[in-house]
Every structure is written in structure tokens, then in C-alpha cells.
Structure 1
Amino acid sequence: MLHRGQESTDGSGGGELAVPMAWMYAEYIADELLRTGDLMPPTSFEFRAGRDALALTIFLSDSDRELSGIRVVTQLETWLSLTAYDQPWQDWVSERLADLSALSAESGHPDPDLELAEAAWRWLEETELLAPDLDAVPGGAAAAGEDERPKVWTPAWQLGLPLGHLAIHLF
């Protein structure tokens, strides 16, 4: 979102429009990783869940907001570890967003990057997608066709996170 009266991207202020460059760059990297992996159609909700989960991981792990093409390559291992199955990713996201929100409140200036990150997190938490039930009876899914597998409503982040993790692996 663009807001009047906030600092510009160079921090000079003066009533210029604030552009959420850090969020947009994180979202761009996430989009490219998922498109390269070719795991889902880019128009699907699953793709959006993967992109938003990856963008949050990228944005929140870059505490200096200094993402660059060179740093992206060095960050892949960090992103892999943050998105791994056994990690409390959702707790990490909530804590990092709360920390950034507190910093933004202290500064007295709304942060357009943070606003977009929080909106993505709300969508990932509040949206449920119909997905195969991975906890169904073992062997039952092998006998059933793709459309016959049991399905359950799953929070979007729970689908997006493994997609993002796999996309990083495939990169």
C-alpha cells in the first residue's frame, strides 16, 4: 500500500509516497522460486499460499531489509531451515511480526512493508484450502485415485509452507 505523508524509500520524508520495496522484493523472490519449481499453476490458491509463506519467510528473515541478488543465494539455507517440517514456523512468524509491529509503533510511522506482511499472514491463517488428508489410513490413498482421496480443510499456511520449502530445494 502507498501512503501519503510517510518517509519515501530513501528515508528522506517530505510527504512522498512510501513504497513497500522490502515486501515487494520478498514477494518477487518467492514468486520466482515457485515458478521455477513449477509445482502449481500460478493462478491457484495453493500457489498464492506458497508465495505468501515464502515471502513472509524471506521478509522476516531479512532483519536489515538489505536483500540483494547476491544475498539471496546465501539465504537459501536459512530459508530451508526456517520452512522445514519440524520447525515452529507459524510461531516464528507471529513473534517476528509482533516485534516489527512494536518497532513500528515506537517510531510513530506506519510501515507499509509490515502492513503487507501482516495482511499476507492474516490470509494464510484465516483461509482454508481443501487438501488431501495426509493423516488418512495408510495404503488407502495408494489404492484410491487422486480425486478419491479423503480431503480436509487445511489452513493455507500449512499447504503453502511445504510448497515453498520444496521450491527452495528445486532451485
Structure 2
Amino acid sequence: MQPEGTNGTSGGALAVPMAWLCAEYIADEMLRTGALVEGGSLEYRAGRETLALTIYLCDGSDELAGVRAVSRIEEWLNLTSYGHPWPAWARERLDARGERERQLGGGPDPDLALARDSWKWLRQTELLAADLGDTEPWHPANPLDACVDEREQIWMPAWQLGLPLSHLAIHLF
């Protein structure tokens, strides 16, 4: 059954953001499997949004297939690793996709719209979390140096908490 009305995209058919929905599903599965934080919490959402955005922006064709996604795990690990300039990388990729959207015309891309909303949420939402300082908590050089006083907390952008959660979830998957 055809929809009664559309927003002018996809040649008159309903525009379904399949690439974003697939990326979000994969991210959700990885985080649920890792059981690092309680599902439904803001911390969980930070991890899911960060990982979904990473997965979505890694794919050059704007389509995800399960087989291809499995081959990308090393890339996702590298992008979410400590010290990688993930926010700059995400901004550049979103800008490049926006430019491609403008060049192609034909209306807004529903996948890109959801990715932009996710990026906006990750930047503007701040979470109170343990102050990890300058340590590399998910790969400490010396395990004895990995002790973090969880009573010392700071406000940080959601992506900053989502990155280590994403990285650990990928490792545990």
C-alpha cells in the first residue's frame, strides 16, 4: 500500500532511513550484549548514539549489510579508541554527506537527518560521570594505574562518555 502523501523524496515513495536504522540496531545489539550500562539510561543512549553514528559514518555507500558490518569492526575499534579525534572526524563526515546531499538535490536524506539529530544530542547533552582525567581507562599501560575515584565526577558531553562505552562494547561483542 502506497502512503497517501510523501515529502517529495525517493521518487514519490516513503523515505525510510534504513542505513541509520541498521546502524542503530547494530549499536544497540553490541551495547546490550556487552551489558556495560543499564539499558534505557542516558549513559546507554550516549553509547548507542556514539556507536550508531560511528557505524553510519563509516559506511561510504549509505547502506549497511550485516556481512559488511562484521568486516568493519577493526575500523570501529580504531575510531572509538582513546586519542582518536572522533568529534572532528564525525563533523567532517557529516559535512561531507551534507555537501553530497546538496549536490545531488532531490530533497533531504532521512538517514542524514537522523544522524545530524544524533550528533546534536551527543554534543548538547551533558552527563555527570566519573572524572577519568588524562588516563587511558580502557587500555591502561599499567593496570595498577587504572584506579579511578568514582566519587570525583564532572559534567561532560554525551559523546565523551559514549566513546569508551562504544569501544568496550565492540571489544565484548
TM-score, normalised via structure 2 length: 0.86
Residue in structure 2 matched with residue 115 of structure 1 by the alignment: 113
- Higher mean C-alpha displacement, 65-74 vs 97-106: 65-74
Residue in structure 2 matched with residue 22 of structure 1 by the alignment: 19
Q: Does 1:170 align with 2:144?
A: no
Q: Does 1:57 align with 2:54?
A: yes
Q: Does 1:157 align with 2:159?
A: yes
What is the identity percentage for the equivalent residue pairs of Structure 1 and Structure 2? 57
CA distance in 1, matches of 2:54, 2:93: 10
Q: Does 1:82 align with 2:56?
A: no
Q: 1:71 aligns with which of 68, 71, 76?
A: 68
CA distance in 1, matches of 2:148, 2:89: 38
1:70-125 per-position Cα deviation (integer Å, ceiling 9, x unaligned): 11211100100111111101100000000000111122221000000000000000
- Which SS does the other structure have where 2:72 is aligned? helix
Residue in structure 2 matched with residue 102 of structure 1 by the alignment: 99
1:18-44 per-position Cα deviation (integer Å, ceiling 9, x unaligned): 000000000000000000000111110
- Structure 1 residue 135 displacement after superposition: 2.3
1:44-86 per-position Cα deviation (integer Å, ceiling 9, x unaligned): 0000000000001000000112321111211100100111111
Structure 1: gaps of 5 or more residues: 8-12
Q: Where does structure 1 differ by over 4 angstroms across 4 or more consecutive aligned residues?
A: 141-144
CA distance in 1, matches of 2:165, 2:56: 17
CA distance in 2, matches of 1:97, 1:123: 14
- Structure 1 residue 4 displacement after superposition: 2.3
What RMSD in Å do the two structures reach over aligned CA positions? Answer: 2.1
Q: Summarize the Cα distance change of 1:122–1:143 in structure 2 as closer, same or farther, 3 Å threshold.
A: closer
Q: Summarize the Cα distance change of 1:135–1:37 in structure 2 as closer, same or farther, 3 Å threshold.
A: same
**Mapped contact 2:131–2:148 kept (Cα < 8 A):** no
Q: Summarize the Cα distance change of 1:16–1:28 in structure 2 as closer, same or farther, 3 Å threshold.
A: same
